[in-house]
Amino acid sequence: MNTPAPLVQVTNLKKHFPITRGIVIQRVIGAVRAVDGISFFINRGDTLGLVGESGCGKTTAGRTLLGLYPATDGIATIDGHNIIAAKGHDLMAIRRKAQMIFQDPYASLNPRWTINSIISEPLRVHKLLRTEKERTERVKELLDLVGLNARQINRFPHEFSGGQRQRIGVARALASDPVFIVCDEPISALDVSIQAQVVNLLEDLQDKFQLTYLFIAHDLSMVRHICDRVAVMYLGLIVELAERNELYETPLHPYTKALLSAVPIPDPKKDRNRHRTILTGDVPSPINPPSGCRFHPRCPIAKAHCSELIPEWREITPGHWVACHEV
């Protein structure tokens, strides 16, 4: 079997937000280095998990990769086209194939629009179906696909529960027949019993349409369940990336180890006998990240050189990458 090229290929992607001072004459006095050079690929039909704590840059990475934020530097190829350099018609063409599902199902749907207008928006923007009638038919088909009643097509978002709204968000993302979807914490605003519904729906749709997902989340249990490979981010950088069972069973980076040991496990007996690495302190500011390895001030195994040298991104075993001096 020959391996086809990955559907998504990200190389050294950077997104810095300038910090300015002054009202009329704005001077740039610094930058929030939200994403500071990340590289990864996702094979067609696979799910890559992007995990990390709040402020680590995972959401910014997802948005920059779709061109929602102009990138500071780097290349992001989706199905062979670099979205960072694309303009005009080319950009539109890539965007049709790459969609997003947002975290907050309350904020991401326009409350004044009917479900029909919301879901058919991508169809109108990309001029995919000419007539109103065709579009309505397609919306009904999409509602059916995500498990909502097609008769609810003229209702407004407030008439739906959180889980149903997230289904509407999924239907909108599917409208333009994408090949790649960035799922930005799609379930973290939902109750446990509803999370499973949405996750199962995402999996069914992936099977049906061979979709490729970037699944951004902080829930490490769900990430192990849904993702094929997992990347761990810390302060704008990916510190470890591996196949899911490899990462969860033999984590190499001390941050990954600490993160995994902090995940609550719904099993009292097992939980009592666990060894926990409890990190001290908080995540430092991405405006002025620590020198050398960015994790060194909180790292339980940091040595003197960790504060001076930036660790190299190395492949330790096939497919298992890590950035740490001490591995």
Which residue ranges make up the site for other proteins (CB under 8 A)?
53-54, 161, 163-164, 191-197, 199-200, 203, 218, 220-222, 224-226, 245, 248, 258-272, 276, 278-280, 282-283
DSSP, res 45: T
Supply the minimum distance, in Å, between the C-beta of residue 327 and other proteins: 20
Strands of the 73-78 sheet, one edge to the other: 27-42, 8-21, 73-78, 81-82
Which residue's CB is nearer to other proteins, number 37 or number 284? 284
Dmax over CA atoms of the chain, in Å, equals: 68
Supply the minimum distance, in Å, between the C-beta of residue 192 and other proteins: 6
Q: Among positive and negative, which fits the CA dihedral 280, 281, 283, 285?
A: negative
Q: How far apart are CA 9 and CA 69, in angstroms?
A: 17
Which residue's CB is nearer to other proteins, number 70 or number 264? 264
Q: How far is CA 30 from CA 27, 67, 70, 77, in A?
A: 9, 23, 18, 29
Contacts of 216 (CB under 8 A, 6+ apart): 49, 50, 51, 58, 59, 61, 62, 182, 183, 184, 185
Which residue's CB is nearer to other proteins, number 74 or number 286? 286
Supply the minimum distance, in Å, between the C-beta of residue 191 and other proteins: 4
Backbone torsions φ then ψ of 266, nearest 5 degrees? -75, 60
Q: How far apart are CA 323 and CA 43, in angstroms?
A: 22
Count the neighbouring beta carbons within 10 Å of the beta carbon of residue 19.
12
Contacts of 282 (CB under 8 A, 6+ apart): none
Which residue's CB is nearer to other proteins, number 271 or number 315? 271
Which residue's CB is nearer to other proteins, number 78 or number 217? 217
Supply the minimum distance, in Å, between the C-beta of residue 164 and other proteins: 8
Supply the minimum distance, in Å, between the C-beta of residue 210 and other proteins: 18
Pick the closest to residue 10 from 33, 34, 48, 41 (CA basis). Answer: 41
Supply the minimum distance, in Å, between the C-beta of residue 298 and other proteins: 9
Which residue's CB is nearer to other proteins, number 142 or number 227? 227
Which residue's CB is nearer to other proteins, number 24 or number 278? 278
Q: Cα–chain-centroid distance for residue 296? A: 25
Supply the minimum distance, in Å, between the C-beta of residue 149 and other proteins: 13
Supply the minimum distance, in Å, between the C-beta of residue 281 and other proteins: 9
Q: How far apart are CA 101 and CA 172, in angstroms?
A: 8
Which residue's CB is nearer to other proteins, number 109 or number 230? 230
Cβ(291)–Cβ(276) below 8 Å: no
